[in-house]
Structure 1
Amino acid sequence: MQFFAIEFAAASGVDLGLGISCEILRKLVDLGEPLSAHDFYHDHLIARGIEPDSNIVNSMVICLAKLGKLDDAVKLFDRLIGSEDCVLSNAACTMILEGFYEQDKFLEAFDYFVRISDANVKLGMWIYNVLINGLCHQGYVGEAIQVFDIMCKNTGLPPTLHMFKTLFFGLCKKGWLVEAELVFEEMEVQGFFVDKVMYTSLMNAHGKNKKMKMAMRVYFRMLKKGCDPDICTYNTLIHGFLKMGLFDKAWVLWNLMSDLGIQPNEVTYNLMICYYCKQGKLDCATMLLNSMVPCNLAPCVHSYTPIIAALYKQNRCLEVDEMCERMLESGIIPDHVLFFVLMKNEPKGLELQLCLLMLQAIAKNGCGLDHSSLSNFDKINSSAGLEQEIELILREITRIDLNLCNVAGSIYVSALCEGGKTEAALACFKNVASAGCIPLIFTFNSLIKRLFQDGHFEDVKSLFEIMQNEGIVPNLETYLIMVKEYCKQEDLASAFGILDQMKEMGPKPNVAIYDCIIACLSKQRRISEAETVFHRMHRDGLDHDEVAYMTMIKAYTRNGRGDKALNLFEKMIENAIQPSSYSYTALLSGLVKRKIRLKKCWERVLFQIMYYTLLLPIIF
């Protein structure tokens, strides 16, 4: 009917007027005819020089958004919201925000949400829910809190359980634990039940910050509220104590959960095995591994990998072969982490042979394909021959299982990168992606490192864009690789850029990243800036370890500041970090090399050496 009226008016030369035109436009949009509304707007309003009012602009914002022309809708909306006689419709505001949501542009949505809220437009609860969820998912927790506060103020309605949980988990992930606990308490005030997943998440967040007293406080609060811990809760606490080196407390929790009838699972065993391996107590780690099967627990590749790495560290290479054989014969599927351990410890040049062995095991144990006849490498006397066999197995794995294809492809890319075969690595990467796999972060890291080493910095940027498009978040290893490479080139501006990016988006930088930057600043004799970065570590919630102290101490000695080096050395000891022989050697050699002959310096160094190497063992 609307179309006939428009056609009749046009044929008769009747001027519909602004009011009628506005009503027709609105009706076309309401009837789900955005294309007709778009044509009417241009033919009967713009072409006639009619200046659209707020009602028309609101209708056209909805129309353009429905047609998928969000940029054009936003331009009109900006003109509307910026005018003095601004009258925003609820529907137009909702369509703008919904358009941003569909494109995962939650930060842009937040900016418009604030402007809409300032204009006192009432929005539906789902708008708040989706925006809070999207912002938290993308790491913009501060903005999500603002949306939460605006919602409470504008609607007067209590937050939903989903909102509380979304905010809580976002805050825990970000490490904003004070705010997380406030949400926690507000939930209880509102009468919501705080479940064991939330308690465990808060314990985990405290454990990551090595605040195990706080984690245990949450644990006791959980018990007091009548919420029963499960195996995940105890594994979280055990992991936290192990990270701090408090092995006795971890065993207390192990025994406690056994007393409560909660049996340790594969994760519990793997945590303890990993810790024993870090301490070099391989007999204890192996004993735990052997005790898993009698407890009806099947060891996995993560059970064997730390033991194999520790065996390499103790130069027990024959036992590595035995352990690998035992693992593969039991039907365990190897992964990229195990391959990385093997590749880093075996002689250079064997990357493709190791890769072939890993892919054979994946094909056999994961896909039921036996390629063991290819194990005789004497028959394959060239790199090209090895690549051909690997690609043959990779194609068969791809045909059967895409998840295993991803792991196998990652191993192959890493082997090629380590061997300097960049073009072949990129080709494999593309093939795996085209098969429908989203490459592992390990794959990206291998390629980023190789491209940096080859000087292909633009390709690194392209790879980063691919990661973002696939929704893959860089991890600490990604950033460490980049910072190391920038520091090697003495490009500190780019290294600091990475640090700022991490501060904004996460994850939190670790000690190794700061060490690289401090060492590079020291090399450039920018000692005051090195001091600033060293202190920034502490402000960012990182505890200085022995490596961090020694990096800064070396910076002082390199720049002829022996007194400051000694002061920091003593500060390290005050903070309960007992120096190793390496630290003493590094300090002494630094003082000698820089010809620092201050009598007081040497007296203090000799006293420290005598105290910690001779007197302290006698006292205790």
Structure 2
Amino acid sequence: MGEKGFKPDRFTYATIINALCKDGLLTDALKLFSTMTSKGIQPNHFTYNPLIQGPCNFGHWKEAAKLVAEMEERNIIPDVHSFNILVDALLKEGKMTEAKEALHMMTEKGIEPDIFTHNSLIDCYCQRNKMNEAVKTFNMMVRRGCSPDIVSYNTLINGYCKSKRIDEAINLFHEMLDKRMIPNAVTYKTLIGGFCRVGRPVAALELLHEMQASGEHPILQTYAILLDGLFKNGYFVEAMALFQEMVDKKLEIDIVIYTILIDAMCAAGKLVTAKELFCSLSTKGLQPNACTYTIMFKGLCKEGLTNEACELLEKMNGNGCLPDSVSYNTIIQGLLQHDETSRAVEYIEIMVDKGFSANETTATMVIELLCANKVDKTIREWFEKLL
């Protein structure tokens, strides 16, 4: 950079350091920072902030904290963004005590927490199901004259929905509307998921219609959540009508939606329809994933078609979709349910060889077989060794 008389200034260095940090090239960024300071160019918080953000992106909050301390040693006052980066990283790592210490240091220096600081705290409390603390932080933010934004409301609504406190979530939603704040796709998706979580998919469907009437377009994930909620709560007709709406709107229906459909058909005893849907996936340019296959295994085993389930497992391997622990456990449980103990043992051996283990349901079924003396001596010894 020093060739042809060009002398980079602090802004130039800061720009390149920022780009290197965004690309994850932290070592290169720190080397350039050292070059800059060795040339007598003094850094500021614009130079430091990307360097603080860099290690935080990889969960290395201790390195970030050292950089904040280094700023102070150089008599550079960290700004609100510097502290926000550190506080957010600490909260994401579950280091609540350290985050509070950083916040205390921040306020001691006369730096007021902003909307991002408060939102990070609210999110952390919601993730830990500490809703009272989340609400206190929300109210404290308002008292400090910091107006909640859409992220603040969405975060708190999500916390209530995860805690199955849908009425409080809806109260917040109405508060948003009263404040002329426009809900976005995330707000609606969260509330629709919350209604489904508490067994109220019809209310979720009504909210979807309200959303559409307001001009907000549901994302595919919103449809998936609602579709699954309707099916799982016995609203088969409404669910199929919703799926048809998706088809009519020419939405790009993905494997998640079809997996939900296949699962619903299997649960309703419509195995033929489930198989037709499964076989049609390739014509739609979709590949079944491990979850799709496992649902088919469960549906086939439920109807006593264990041979077909085992054949499908082999095809799964052949199609480049590796079975996971749930896949193997589902097949094994199906075989045990139909007294095919020897074959179950074969698949348990395969499962163990691949580094997977029996889940609680499989282990319970094996123990029940042993207690009932329903297996011969050789298999009994093998099972006892496994357990």
Q: Same fold (TM over 0.5)?
A: yes
Q: Secondary structure at the match of 1:341?
A: helix
Distance 1:135 1:325, change over 3 A: same
CA distance in 2, matches of 1:227, 1:189: 18
User: Does structure 2 retain, via aligned residues, the 8 Å contact 1:304–1:327?
Assistant: yes
**1:423, distance to aligned residue in structure 2 (A):** 6.0
The normalised TM-score by structure 1 is 0.41
Q: Is structure 2 residue 16 aligned with structure 1 residue 135?
A: no
CA distance in 2, matches of 1:304, 1:522: 46
CA distance in 2, matches of 1:255, 1:417: 39
Provide the residue aligned with 1:257 in structure 2. 141
Q: Is structure 2 residue 50 aligned with structure 1 residue 223?
A: no
Provide the residue aligned with 2:315 in structure 1. none
Provide the residue aligned with 1:190 in structure 2. 74
Among 276, 283, 302, the residue aligned to 2:186: 302
Equivalent positions of 1:569-588 (< 5 A) are none
The normalised TM-score by structure 2 is 0.63
Distance 1:307 1:125, change over 3 A: same
* 1:562-604 residue CA offsets vs partner (Å, 9 max, x unmatched): xxxxxxxxxxxxxxxxxxxxx7x7875565456699xxxxxxx
* 1:456-497 residue CA offsets vs partner (Å, 9 max, x unmatched): xxxxxxxxxxxxxxxxxxxxxxxxxxxxx854179xxxxxxx
Amino acid at match of 2:154: N
Q: Secondary structure at the match of 1:412?
A: coil
Q: Secondary structure at the match of 2:107?
A: helix
Amino acid at match of 1:302: V
Distance 1:124 1:522, change over 3 A: farther
Provide the residue aligned with 2:201 in structure 1. 317
Q: Is structure 2 residue 252 aligned with structure 1 residue 412?
A: yes
Answer with 329-338 or 230-239: which moved more. Answer: 329-338
CA distance in 2, matches of 1:454, 1:303: 29
Distance 1:415 1:587, change over 3 A: closer
User: Does structure 2 retain, via aligned residues, the 8 Å contact 1:210–1:243?
Assistant: no
Distance 1:523 1:222, change over 3 A: farther
User: Does structure 2 retain, via aligned residues, the 8 Å contact 1:277–1:285?
Assistant: yes
CA distance in 1, matches of 2:2, 2:115: 48
Number of positions where the alignment pairs a residue of Structure 1 with one of Structure 2: 301
Provide the residue aligned with 1:507 in structure 2. none
CA distance in 1, matches of 2:27, 2:366: 45
Q: Secondary structure at the match of 1:245?
A: coil
User: Does structure 2 retain, via aligned residues, the 8 Å contact 1:417–1:450?
Assistant: no
**1:225, distance to aligned residue in structure 2 (A):** 0.7
Q: Is structure 2 residue 122 aligned with structure 1 residue 244?
A: no
**1:338, distance to aligned residue in structure 2 (A):** 1.4
Q: Which has more radius of gyration?
A: 1
Gapped regions of structure 2 (runs ≥ 5): 259-276, 294-319, 326-346, 374-387
CA distance in 2, matches of 1:205, 1:522: 43
Provide the residue aligned with 2:60 in structure 1. 176
CA distance in 2, matches of 1:198, 1:210: 19
Q: Secondary structure at the match of 2:161?
A: helix
Alpha-carbon RMSD across the aligned residues, in angstroms, is: 4.3
* 1:426-449 residue CA offsets vs partner (Å, 9 max, x unmatched): xxxxxxxxxxxxxxxxxxxxx6x6
Q: Is structure 2 residue 88 aligned with structure 1 residue 211?
A: no
Provide the residue aligned with 2:159 in structure 1. 275
Taking only the aligned residue pairs, the percentage that are identical comes to 22
Q: Secondary structure at the match of 1:524?
A: helix
Distance 1:227 1:390, change over 3 A: same
